[in-house]
Structure 1
Amino acid sequence: MYFSIGIVIIALLAVFLFARKRRRQAIKKVCSMTSIEKCELLNSLIEPFGYCYDKCQDIISSRNDAWQREIGYTALFDRAAAHFHMVFDHLPVYFPYQGRTWLIELWKGQYGINTGGEVGIYYAGSLLTEKELPTAHFDAVTDRDMLPVTMKLLKNGNTLANISRKTWWLTGFCMGLFSQPGQLCLEVSIHFPDCEMLRSFTQALCREGFPKQALRTCGTVAYLHYGGVQNRKYSFCQRISRKWAQFTNRLFCRVYLRITGCFCLTVDRLLYLYYLLPRAFRRMLSPRRFGRHKCKCRKKR
């Protein structure tokens, strides 16, 4: 019996020493790299997942050539989001333009261990009726139809991300930060190609009940202030699912910050986690949408 207890103690001690050694090695690897090397390595690791690292703002953003572009959008994604630990407010705006139904949607909220915001631009192959919208599939717009978009994400008045480019999907994610959707605000500007498209978009936005004081236009540019607590109604099961998702999101944020507490910047935290727990690293960057995607992320030395 005493022999068995001794074996267990030795085994636990060996595991502890191994974990401590692995942690030191991971810290040493990260600290030995230059800032440029860190950014290049991190971008090479997260590029297959459709993301890139913004060094100036210390945030994760999406790429125009992200694999998510092939999947497009359907309203089912939003309805099922809480089951994938995504709890957000969203504003879908459907409007007709040039013989097809367009969709420009805004999101703000908690995506797992990330506080983030998104603007997506999609369209259907034809004009859709209102009854068809909940089940319709929308394609991401082509390069020719991408729009110049600027998105600023704020929490309690403090800027978290400020991104601008011509795109079909603009995002900004702050890793390790927990937020309730009502604490966040999106300030978005969208540059439309002509007044007809701008008018169709703003009219649809007003039909959605968007506050007129939160919308202004100048030329062919629409400026939106999307913030505060959303009045969208959820069923009892949906409310429970969202609360549970937020409970686990807050917990995982604390675990992430605890494990990577020896670093401050996202690039350092992620590379440290990549060397220390590569499986956890890949899990954190798993695809945000619900399609299947095989992604190879080989460990680099």
Structure 2
Amino acid sequence: MKEILVIAVLVFIVILQFYIYRRSIKRKESVYNVLKETDREKIKSINNGLDEYGFYFEDSSDIIASKMYCWQRKMGYCKLYDELAPSLNMVIDCEPIYFNYNKRRWLIEFWKGQYGMTTGGEVGIYVTDKKDIDIPGFFTGPFYECVTDEERLDMKFTLIKEKGEIFNRQEHHWWLTGFDVGGFSEPSNLSMEIALEFPNSQMKKEFINGLKTAGYKDDDYKSINNSVYIKFDTPKSDQGDKHYKILLPYIQLMNKNFCNLYNYLTRDFNRTIDKIYFLYTYYPTLFKILSRDKELKQIEKVYKTIQSYLNEGGIDNE
């Protein structure tokens, strides 16, 4: 009996060693296959994978960013989206700045924090000329449309963690974003230095009024010509995560584990482009998590509910 047990243990060890060896060989082959591809081929494949989620790989900044004409642009914006963020593994600070200009209500909002397995920041521009909607038991408040091409602004921001810059973005856009893959952060450890250039002094003035209404003091921003420079660190607005407050540490633990898993699986690569391509090719499930597939489905569901209400004439257009 003892001899049989010893033989069984030896067989198990041999099988385990063979399995580890095969996995090692397969991994080396996978790494080689990634490295032999050209960067152009990698970017094309990555962006094909990201396209349906509204993002692309910004190789000059080594980050993922939002496309100009993405599905999110059709979804508009309402506060409910922010309130749902924790359920989508997004633990973020939100700073909505409301103001009136040219007989319409405008919203320019800032975001920073942890988006699943990425650390990121956003600046978005929205507008409405309609009254608030009221969908009993679902949502009450203004629903904004994303601005048109003609209403986009020159925007830029630098995302900073403690005292170190993570990345910076600059573009003529309606939704300027950037996401550092595999980076983990608490929103309180992040800050954004934001610059917005307005088309005229009147719009700039109204935006500054919105800043002041939100709680910003004269020392919190700087105005030069038609540009405004703001530092966004501790949000001054009420955050929409009160229903998830007790769950936030667990959501962040999940996010941190995803970041650790991503960094472990891609440990053989030094460049982000290689890491993401490796994930896209050999770990498609994790790539979908990176792409925020869950967010797409949930926001679409919310938007369809609101849109069906709008189509039924539940909003006053006068």
Question: Does the alignment pair 1:39 with 2:43?
Answer: yes
**Given the alignment, which residue of 62, 73, 76 partners 1:72?**
76
Which protein shows a greater Rg? 2
Answer whether contact 1:99 1:127 (CA < 8 A) is retained. no
Query: How far 1:16 moved relative to its partner?
Result: 5.0
Q: Which whole-Å CA distance do the structure 1 matches of 2:105 and 2:56 have between them?
A: 30
Answering whether residue 178 of structure 2 is matched by residue 172 of structure 1, we say yes
Q: Kindly provide the amino acid, as one letter, of the partner of residue 73 in structure 1.
A: Y
Structure with greater helix percent: 2
Q: Does 1:245 align with 2:251?
A: yes
What is residue 199 of structure 1 aligned with on the other side? 205
State the aligned residue count. 289
SS in 1 for 2:72: helix
**TM-score, length basis structure 1:** 0.86
Q: After alignment, is 154-163 or 21-30 more displaced?
A: 21-30
Distance in 1 between residues matched to 2:84 and 2:240, nearest whole Å: 12
Are 1:112 and 2:116 an aligned pair? yes
Structure 2 unaligned blocks of 5 or more: 134-138, 302-318
Letter in 1 for 2:37: M
Deviation at 1:8, TM superposition (A): 8.5
Give the corresponding residue for 1:163.
169
Does the CA contact (< 8 Å) of 2:49 and 2:280 recur in 1? no
Letter of the 1:49 counterpart: Y
More deviation, 221-230/244-253: 221-230
Shift of 1:23: 2.3
What residue in structure 2 maps to residue 152 of structure 1?
158
Task: Return 105-114 or 133-142, whichever deviates more.
Answer: 133-142
Written as runs of structure 1 = structure 2, the 5 A alignment for 1:45-124 is 45-124=49-128
Q: Sequence identity, in percent?
A: 30
The answer (yes or no) to whether the contact 2:157–2:195 under 8 Å persists in 1 is: yes
Deviation at 1:264, TM superposition (A): 2.0
Question: How far apart, CA to CA, are the structure 1 residues paired with 2:169 and 2:235?
Answer: 23
Structure 1 match to 2:219:
213
Distance of 2:80 and 2:51 partners within structure 1: 26
Of 206, 227, 248 in structure 1, the residue corresponding to residue 233 of structure 2 is 227
Contact 1:119 1:170 in 2 (8 A): yes
- The one-letter code sitting in structure 2 at the alignment partner of 1:243 is P
Task: Work out the CA distance in 2 between the residues paired with 1:69 and 1:276.
Answer: 31
Tell me by how many angstroms 1:276 deviates: 1.6
Change (3 A) 1:221 1:31: same
Alignment correspondent of 2:310: none
Q: Which amino acid is the alignment partner of residue 178 of structure 1? A: F
TM-score (norm 2): 0.82
Does the 8 Å CA contact 1:176/1:254 hold for their aligned counterparts? yes
Q: CA deviation at 1:11?
A: 8.1
Cα displacement (A) at 1:283: 2.6
- How many angstroms does 1:62 deviate by? 1.0
Q: Give unmatched runs, 5+ long, in structure 1.
A: 294-301
Contact 1:30-1:272 within 8 A present in 2 as well:
yes
Contact persistence 1:151–1:162 (CA under 8 A): yes
* Cα shift readout 1:271-297 (whole Å, capped 9, x = no counterpart): 11122212221232134453249xxxx
Q: Secondary structure at the match of 2:171?
A: strand
1:266 to 268, 272, 283: 272
- Contact 1:83 1:241 (8 Å CA) reproduced: no
Q: Check the 8 A contact 1:88/1:109 in 2, yes or no.
A: yes
Question: Retained in 1: the 8 A contact 2:116–2:289?
Answer: no
State the shift of 1:104 in Å.
0.3
Write the letter of the residue equivalent to 1:197: M
* Aligned counterparts of 1:75 and 1:67: Cα–Cα separation in 2: 18
Q: Alignment RMSD, CA only?
A: 2.7
